[in-house]
A and B are shown apart, each in its own frame.
Chain A
Amino acid sequence: MTTVAATSHVAHAHHDDRSFVRKYIFSTDHKIIGIQFLFVSLFFLLVGGLLAMQMRWQLAFPGKPMPGGGILPDTMAPGGVLLPEYYIQLVTMHGTFMVFFAIMPLLVGVYANFLIPLKIGAHDMAFPRINMASFWSALLAGLIMLAGFFVPDGAPRAGWTSYAPLSARPDLSGASYGQMLWCISLVFLGLSSILGSLNYITTIINNRAPGMTWFRMPLSVWALFITAILGLLALPVLSGAVIMLLFDQTIGTHFFDPVAGGQALLWQHLFWFFGHPEVYILILPAMGMVSDIIANGSRKPIFGYHSMVFAIVAIAFLGWIVWGHHMFMSGMNPTLGSSFMVSTLIIAVPSAIKTFNWMGTMWRGNLRFHVPMLNAVAFVAMFVIGGLSGIFMAATPVDMFIHDTAFIVAHLHYVLFGGSLFALFGAITYWYPKMFGKLMSERWGKVHFWLTFLFYNCTFFPMHILGMAGEMRRIYDPSQYTFLQPYQPMRVFITVSAYLLFATQLIFFVNFWWSLFKGKKAPQNPWEDNGLEWSLPAPAPHGNWETVPTVYRGPYEFSSPQVPEDYLPQYRKLPTDREPARAPVAGH
C-alpha cells in the first residue's frame, strides 16, 4: 500500500460544455439543486397559503359562498359554499404542504444544498448524483401529494398528523385513495431527506477546506449539520409508520386497529417520535442562518459562539426525548406525562441561551438594517413569543385545557411563520446575489417586511385569545358552540388580516421574480460578509473555486482591530496569519 502526495484537487477549468438539460434540469451541481428546491418549494408555499385562505373564509363567513368558489367542484364547495369534508381536506393539506413541502425543503433542500459546499470550501457535495436524486424524489413526493385532490373521494382529511384509526379506515374518514397517497408521498419525501442528509453529513465531516476547523464553521453550517443528523434518524421512523398505515389501509394489516389487537396510540408514538425532531429540523437551520445575518448586520462577532454550538446540539439531543408532549391527553400512562413535561421544560433553556446570545450580538453593535437584518431581528422577536407560549403547553395541567385549541395553532404559527418563514425571507434575500447574480429590491423588501410583520401579528396573535376561550382546532363551524359565538368578530378580524398578509406576499414574489431579470447586478460581496462564499463571483460558477480557499480565522470577525474595515473574511490572509498545518491532499 503506497501513499503518494497527490497534487491538490483541481477543478476542471471552466468552459462548462454540458448541455442545457445537464446544466439546469438534471444537474448534479449543488447550487442548481438548491435553486431547483427553491422554485419548487416557493410554489408549494403558495399552494399552502391558498389552502389557508379558503379555510379562513369558512371560519369568518360560515355558510357563505366564497369568492371564486364557483370553480370548485360540487364535491368540495357546491355554489361556492365550502363543505365540511372539504374543510378538513384543506386543514390536512395546508399542514402537510407547509411542513413537508414548503418549510422543510426551503430550509434544508435549498440552504443545505446551496450553502454547505460554499461555506466550508468544497467544490460540491460528496455524492452529487445522490444529491440530484434527492431533489427529484422530493418533487415526485410533492406531485403525488397534490394528486390527492384529484383522486376519487378526494384529498386526505385526517390532519397533517394523520391519527389512526381515522386515517386507516376509509369508511370512517371518507377518504380512500387520497389517504393512501399521503402515505406513499411521504415515503418518497423521506427518501429524499435521507439522501440529502447523507450528502450534508459526509461533506461537512470530510470535505472542509484547509483551515476550516469545526469551530470555524459558520453557525448556519453547524445548524444544517445537526439538522441533517436529525433528519437522517427521524425520517426513517416516519417511513416505517406510514408504511404500516398504508398496509392497514390496503392489505388488511392491523397495526393500529384495536379490534384485532392493534393500538391506536402506537401511531401517535411513532409519528411524534419522528414529529418532534421534525419541528427542530424546521427551526434549527433558520436559527443558524439568522445567526450569520445578525452578526453581519451588527458588525460584531456572534456573542458566545461556542455556547451557540452547544445550544444547537442540546436542542437536537433533547428533541428526541420530548415527543410525548404532543400526547399528554392521549391516554398514555400519566407518569410518562410527568417525564415528558420535565424534558420539554428543559428544552426551553438552550433556546433561551440562543435568544440572549443574539441580543448579546446586537448589544454595542453598529447595526445595519438591511432587509435580511430586519427579518432576522423579527425572527428573534417572534420566535420568542412562540417559544414562551410553548411553556404553557409544557405544563401538563394547563395543557389539559389548551391542548387541541387555537392556542396551539397560535404557538405553531409563531415558531414556523414568525420564526422559520421570517428567517427564510431574510435568507432568500441575503443569498440571492450569490444564487442569481442580482440584488432584490431593497425598498420593496422593506415594504414587504413591515406589512408582513404587521398583518402577521394581527392574524396570529388573536388566536391565543381564541384558544384561551376554549376554541377547538380543526372545527368547520365554531358557531355550533354557544360559548364560541361571541368570538365571531375576532375570527373575521383574523381572516381579513390573513387576506392582507397573503396579498402582501405578492410583493415578495414579484420582487423575487422581477429581480431575476431586471434586478441590479450584484457586487461580489454586497453585505460585506466574511463567509467563504463571498470570495466567489456572483452567481457562483460550477465547481465553485479552481482551488479551494484557505481559511485563516472564524466566520464572525467583524470590527476586528486587525483591519480598518469592519469585516475580515475567513479567506483573507493577513501578514500575521500562518498557513494551517496541511496534510497531503487526496483526490477524494
Chain B
Amino acid sequence: MHWWLPLKGSTFAGEIDGLFLAILIITGIAFVIVELGLLWFVVKYRARPGRKAYYTHGSTRAEVIWTAIPAVTMVALGLISNHYWVKIKGRNSVPPNAYPIAIHAKQFEWQVTYPGPDGRLGTADDFEVRNQLHVPVGRPVVIHLTSEDVIHSFFVPVFRVKQDAVPGMNINVWFQATVPGTYELGCAELCGLGHYRMRAQVFVHTQEEFDAWMKQAAKGGATS
C-alpha cells in the first residue's frame, strides 16, 4: 500500500506534487507549533494547589506577529500557486500543437473520439472508442470535454488532471504524459447510479506504439 501521491505521470505531476510538499512543510510547521504548544501548556500549566493564573488580557505585539506571519505566508503561497494555475488551466494555457481528442461523458461511460490519421477532429477519419484513452508520451494532448446528460468529472490520478464535464459546455483540458504504461481514469463527480463504475483505461504509448494503435483502431472503426 502506497502512502504518498501516485506515480508522477505527467509534466504537471512534478509541479503539483512539489506544491503539495511545500504546503505540507508549511502546514506541518504550524501543526507542530500548535499541537506541541498545546501539549506543553496542558502539562506545564495544569492546576495545582496554591497556583494562580497570570492575569493578562493579551498582547498587541503578539497579535501583530501572529497575524502578519500567516498573512505573508498565505500571500506568498497564493502567488506561487497562481503561477502554476495559470500555466495549467489558464485561458491560453493549451499548447498550440496539442494533440486533440474529444471526450463525451455520459451516464456511465466515456466516449472518446480520436482525430484519426489526419490528426484533425471533425473530419471523416475520426473514430470513437468507449472507455479507452490512448495518448502518446511526451506530447501535449488537449481533451475537448463535453457531457451528454449530467455533470461528470474527468480525472486521471497519475496525470494529476481533473476537469468537470458540464452539459451545455465545451471545456478544454490539456496534459502531457511522461511515463508509458496503463493507468486508470475515474469519474470524480457524482453522476448517478453508475458513478462508481464510470471507469476508463488510459494507455500512454510511445509514439511508435501510438501510431501503430491508431492505424489499427481507425481501420477497425468504433470499438468498445
- Chain A residues at the B interface, C-beta cutoff of 8 Å: 84-85, 87-88, 91, 158-159, 163, 165-166, 169, 172-174, 258-259, 262-265, 298-307, 329-331, 333-335, 337-338, 341-342, 345-346, 348-349, 352-353, 355-357, 359-360, 362-369, 377, 380-381, 384-385, 388-389, 391-392, 395-398, 400-401, 403-405, 465, 468-470, 472-478, 480-483, 486-487, 489-490, 558-561, 566
A404 / chain B contacts, CB cutoff of 8 Å: 153, 155, 162, 188-189
Q: Can you spell out 20 A-B residue pairs with CB atoms less than 8 angstroms apart? A: A85-B193, A174-B192, A258-B168, A335-B91, A349-B70, A349-B71, A349-B74, A353-B67, A356-B66, A364-B54, A365-B53, A380-B34, A381-B35, A384-B31, A392-B24, A398-B81, A401-B20, A469-B2, A469-B157, A472-B188
Give A259 to B166 CA distance when docked, in angstroms: 12
B150 / chain A contacts, CB cutoff of 8 Å: 163, 165-166, 169, 172
**B65 CB, nearest partner CB in chain A, Å:** 9
Pairwise interchain contact B47-A368, C-beta atoms closer than 8 A: yes
Binds A, one of B112-120, B121-129, B195-203: B195-203
**B35 CB, nearest partner CB in chain A, Å:** 6
Beyond A166-B191, A359-B38, A404-B162, 5 additional contacts (C-beta under 8 Å) are A166-B151, A169-B149, A334-B89, A360-B59, A384-B35
Pairwise interchain contact A465-B3, C-beta atoms closer than 8 A: yes
Contacts A334-B89, A364-B45 given; does A265 touch B196 at CB 8 Å: no
Give A390 to B179 CA distance when docked, in angstroms: 30
Pairwise interchain contact B41-A362, C-beta atoms closer than 8 A: yes
**A53 CB, nearest partner CB in chain B, Å:** 19
Chain B at the A interface: SS class: mixed
Give A405 to B196 CA distance when docked, in angstroms: 13
Q: How many residues of B contact A (CB 8 A)?
A: 87
Among B37, B88, B186, the one with the most A-chain Cβ atoms within 10 Å of its Cβ is: B186
**Closest residue to B182 on the A side, CB-wise?**
A482
Pairwise interchain contact A88-B66, C-beta atoms closer than 8 A: no
Pairwise interchain contact A165-B54, C-beta atoms closer than 8 A: no
Give A367 to B52 CA distance when docked, in angstroms: 10
Pairwise interchain contact B54-A474, C-beta atoms closer than 8 A: no
Pairwise interchain contact B157-A342, C-beta atoms closer than 8 A: no
Contacts A264-B168, A367-B46 given; does A397 touch B88 at CB 8 Å: yes
**A481 CB, nearest partner CB in chain B, Å:** 5
Give A264 to B24 CA distance when docked, in angstroms: 34
B45 / chain A contacts, CB cutoff of 8 Å: 298, 362-367
Which residue from B107, B160, B199 sits with its C-beta under 8 Å from A172? B107
Pairwise interchain contact B23-A398, C-beta atoms closer than 8 A: yes
Contacts A298-B53, A365-B54, A482-B184 given; does A165 touch B86 at CB 8 Å: no
Among B155, B194, B196, the one with the most A-chain Cβ atoms within 10 Å of its Cβ is: B196
Pairwise interchain contact B4-A468, C-beta atoms closer than 8 A: yes
A300 / chain B contacts, CB cutoff of 8 Å: 53-56
**A263 CB, nearest partner CB in chain B, Å:** 7
A396 / chain B contacts, CB cutoff of 8 Å: 81-82, 85, 89
Pairwise interchain contact B1-A487, C-beta atoms closer than 8 A: yes
Pairwise interchain contact B196-A476, C-beta atoms closer than 8 A: yes
Pairwise interchain contact B38-A490, C-beta atoms closer than 8 A: no
A331 / chain B contacts, CB cutoff of 8 Å: 163-164, 166, 169, 171
B186 / chain A contacts, CB cutoff of 8 Å: 470, 472, 475, 481
**B51 CB, nearest partner CB in chain A, Å:** 5
Contacts A345-B74, A352-B66 given; does A337 touch B34 at CB 8 Å: no
**B59 CB, nearest partner CB in chain A, Å:** 8
Pairwise interchain contact B53-A366, C-beta atoms closer than 8 A: yes
Give A352 to B37 CA distance when docked, in angstroms: 14
